[in-house]
Structure 1
Amino acid sequence: MVTACTVLLGPSAPSGALPSRSLPAGAVKDALSSRVMTWNLCNPCEESNVDRAAQIATYAPQVIGLQEACVRDVERIRDHLENLHGLVYHVEYGMVLRNWSRCGGMPWNPGAYGQAVLSAAPMTDRTHVEYPDGGSEDRGYMAVTTVVGGRSVRVFNTHLAERRQEAVRADQIGVLATEVARHARAIVLGDFNAVPDAPELTRMWELAADTDPRCGTPPHSTCKPTTDWQSKFDYIFLRAVTPLKYRVQPTPYSDHHLLYTDLDPNH
């Protein structure tokens, strides 16, 4: 893995600048196999999709869950990943809004906004559920079955209600956790808009552990922040899946950091 990672591109070029070369195909395949990532893109934010793609390519995950994503942006990011970096991804969407102010488009045809999952392996059995109560904005989760580390796994991606809407998030987690509990092996990615000791996260902690081994419910919780305001809102919950290492990587292209983990393919 270390050898493969050394050939990946470094930090992205200035906004609008194109990277000078693509990644060697063999190195890409090695780097992708057991890595999953979650990233809230920040929206509305006027960031270059070239830069976003370069950030993803730097770490080359097998699977990435995106939140606050517009379909048009995801399509461009996927194209840049393939054309500029040699990374080929399948994509599935879990859109909850058609929103002109967030995603542009003509007033009568605004862009779709919500979650997306990119996977180097094909995905099957996509599920897309809008929460009964989204809070101040429609929210939901999506799920797909794909391959990580050579093994099939159910992958969820969600974005919960905004801050100061604890009761709404508790109901949303109830819906999500009920579905996660049906699967013996699962990876849950997303922006939960809640710190680890928030009461509404209790059901998730009962089902799965965060990839950060220091992170959990108090009093044994020293979680690394994942946002510019020094809170941990972003999680990779693992159910019967073993992490090897994780990383929180601040980025100039979002107010949320990149969070990724490498998983043990044997467990």
Structure 2
Amino acid sequence: MTVICMVLIGPSAPGADLMARPLPPDAVKDVVPNRVMTWNICNPCKESNAGRAAEIAKYAPQVIGLQEACVRDVERIREYLRNLHGLVYHVEYGMVLRNRGRCGGAPWSPGSFGQAILSAAPMTDRVNVEYPDGGSEDRGYMAVTTTVGDRPVRVFNTHLAQRRQETVRAGQTRVLAEEVARHGRAIVLGDFNAVPDSAELAGIWSLAVDTDPQCHPASTGSCKPTTDWQSKFDYVFLRGIVPLRHGMHPSPYSDHHLLHADLPA
């Protein structure tokens, strides 16, 4: 019976073992102020949450938006970040479905799947919106107010409909853009499943700029790919904030690269 329960529920969280260990001498121990990041962590990819945490710790963002996230995986990532790397994050979730194939769990209680935001500073005013039409799978956006550097900002995190569903994504970005437009300062993170010159992104481009000043929807723009199949699908859009620096980092733990933006203080 114990074996059956372990198969159904999955392995236990790592916290008990990690809490007893001292931090490694090379632990990061602090976030980089004014740095935000987006990362689709790939699901179901069965990757190591310790490895995912180590990737995040390399760049130690103040805020990170995760897509294709399961609550159970995010909790383990947070524990590894805290106990192995000295990085302490608050978390808020924007779950859009419960799916055992995606997130495990018992048949009668499957795990939750969607978005998450980790922030070194506390977060308030969380909203979680499921798009009226998710396409082939439920999709949505979440938003929180938190501090980046020393200033409050509204942070959005989204994952749009899968490829070849342009009409669906157009409806989703209309919903998202309407809310983003209400804020003079906003950061929009996510996997948009659309290249920069896609018609469905026009409403977002009218409100915000990409963290890479060379990347814009015109054909003359120079946008570096953010996926293993050499497409730019991942964005850090900035509204009312001037981009300063950015970095993009391929990872063995996902088919999407980590994308971070360093913002002015």
TM-score (norm 2): 0.90
User: In the alignment, is the contact (CA less than 8 A) between 1:22 and 1:86 conserved in 2?
Assistant: no
Instruction: Say yes or no: does 1:201 pair with 2:205.
Output: no
Partner SS, residue 57 of structure 2? helix
Spell out, residue by residue over 1:212-243, the C-alpha distance to the aligned partner (whole angstroms, 9 max, x if none): 11100113311000000000000000001122
Share of identical aligned residues, percent?
Answer: 71
- Give the AA of the match of 2:230: Q
Partner Cα distance (2:28, 2:119) in 1: 19
Tell me what 1:175 maps to.
175
- Give the AA of the match of 2:238: L
Residue 20 of structure 1 and its aligned partner are, at CA, apart by: 4.5
Tell me what 2:147 maps to.
147
Residue 32 of structure 1 and its aligned partner are, at CA, apart by: 2.2
User: Within 5 Å, which residues of 2 pair with 1:50-199?
Assistant: 50-199=50-199
Change (3 A) 1:241 1:44: same
Tell me what 1:23 maps to.
27
Partner Cα distance (1:66, 1:32) in 2: 18
- Give the AA of the match of 1:178: E
Residue 111 of structure 1 and its aligned partner are, at CA, apart by: 0.3
Change (3 A) 1:234 1:24: closer
Tell me what 2:17 maps to.
none
Residue 149 of structure 1 and its aligned partner are, at CA, apart by: 1.2
- Give the AA of the match of 2:236: I
Partner SS, residue 76 of structure 1? helix
- Give the AA of the match of 1:65: G
Spell out, residue by residue over 1:46-87, the C-alpha distance to the aligned partner (whole angstroms, 9 max, x if none): 100000000000000000000000000000000100000000
Partner Cα distance (1:117, 1:128) in 2: 11
The number of residues matched between the two structures is: 244
Change (3 A) 1:152 1:128: same
Change (3 A) 1:21 1:73: farther
- Give the AA of the match of 2:34: S
Partner Cα distance (1:221, 1:137) in 2: 31
Change (3 A) 1:103 1:21: farther
CA RMSD of aligned residues (A): 1.2
Partner Cα distance (2:167, 2:46) in 1: 32
User: Within 5 Å, which residues of 2 pair with 1:175-254?
Assistant: 175-254=175-254
Partner SS, residue 33 of structure 1? strand
Partner SS, residue 247 of structure 2? strand
Partner SS, residue 88 of structure 2? coil
Partner Cα distance (1:233, 1:20) in 2: 35
Moved over 3 A (4+): 18-22
Partner Cα distance (2:192, 2:82) in 1: 30
User: In the alignment, is the contact (CA less than 8 A) between 2:245 and 2:263 conserved in 1?
Assistant: yes
Partner Cα distance (1:242, 1:193) in 2: 24
User: In the alignment, is the contact (CA less than 8 A) between 1:160 and 1:191 conserved in 2?
Assistant: yes
Q: Any stretches of 5+ residues in structure 2 without a counterpart? A: 1-20
Q: Any stretches of 5+ residues in structure 1 without a counterpart? A: 1-17
Partner Cα distance (1:177, 1:221) in 2: 22
Tell me what 1:257 maps to.
257
